[in-house]
Amino acid sequence: MLRSCAARLRTLGAVPGPARRSFSSEKATQKDYSLPNPSWTKDIRLLYDQFMKKCEDGSWKRLPSYKYTKFVEEQTPKAQIFTRSLEEGLGFEYVMFHNEAEKRVVCVFQGGPHLQGNHGYVHGGAIATMIDITAGTCAVLTGGYAMTANLNINFRRPIPLCSVVVINSQIDKIEGRKYFISCDIRSVDEKTLYSEATSLFIKLDPNKA
């Protein structure tokens, strides 16, 4: 499977590697969605400010987030990155911070009313999506373009809609092209554990046919 995907990406001109990811400066003209906007509650703003302070000494970096991937020249018409496809405040409001030395990515996430599952709680699938992209970002920043192979999530407590949570992801181990990443989702004060997850990402090998 991954071979055919790699082949397709090569055909389209996308070579995996840090230089061609969506975080590069080519995106300067696109809107960066990982910045405060009117829909952000005070909880997420507070966390954002705290992390921005940590960025000052260079150990942490805020990751920009765009709507369109520019990996490839021919893009699927009208395609948008999934988590940026909803209107401000209604869907996924999030910002990620990366600590390169510790191989960690922290995502501060506020789930809006259009992510509903049961009344008043965030849909399990939306939570799975956030875990997938946070852990995935961790993998990609460490080793280049990677794809999700396995995702195992334990939901401990439901996450109320419009609340703010902190998703911590870190690389547990690397075996060749396999990245084992674990993730947990906690409340802002860290007292409530909402979910725990383990995942496996496979780094694409550009040389395999």
The site for other proteins (CB under 8 A) is made up of 1, 4-5, 8-9, 12, 14, 69, 71-72, 75-83, 85-86, 90-91, 113-126, 128-130, 132-133, 136, 147-155, 158, 160-162
CB of 190 to other proteins, least distance (A): 22
- Identify the active-site residue in 49, 57, 132, 184: 132
CB of 100 to other proteins, least distance (A): 24
- Whether 91 contacts 85, CB under 8 Å: yes
One-letter amino acid for residue 200 of the chain: L
Q: Which is nearer to other proteins, 60 or 197 (CB)?
A: 197
Q: Which is nearer to other proteins, 60 or 127 (CB)?
A: 127
Sign of CA dihedral 113, 115, 121, 126: negative
Residues 6+ apart with CB under 8 A from 49: none
- Whether 171 contacts 131, CB under 8 Å: no
CB of 101 to other proteins, least distance (A): 28
Q: Which is nearer to other proteins, 55 or 124 (CB)?
A: 124
Q: How far is the first Cα of the chain from the last one, in angstroms, to the nearest whole number?
A: 12
Q: Which is nearer to other proteins, 48 or 92 (CB)?
A: 92
CB of 55 to other proteins, least distance (A): 26
State yes or no: is 172 an active-site residue.
no
Q: Which residues of 80-116 are buried (b: 16+ CB within 10 A; e: fewer)?
A: eeebbeeeebebbbbbbbbbeeebbbbbbbbbbeebe
Residue numbers annotated as active site: 132
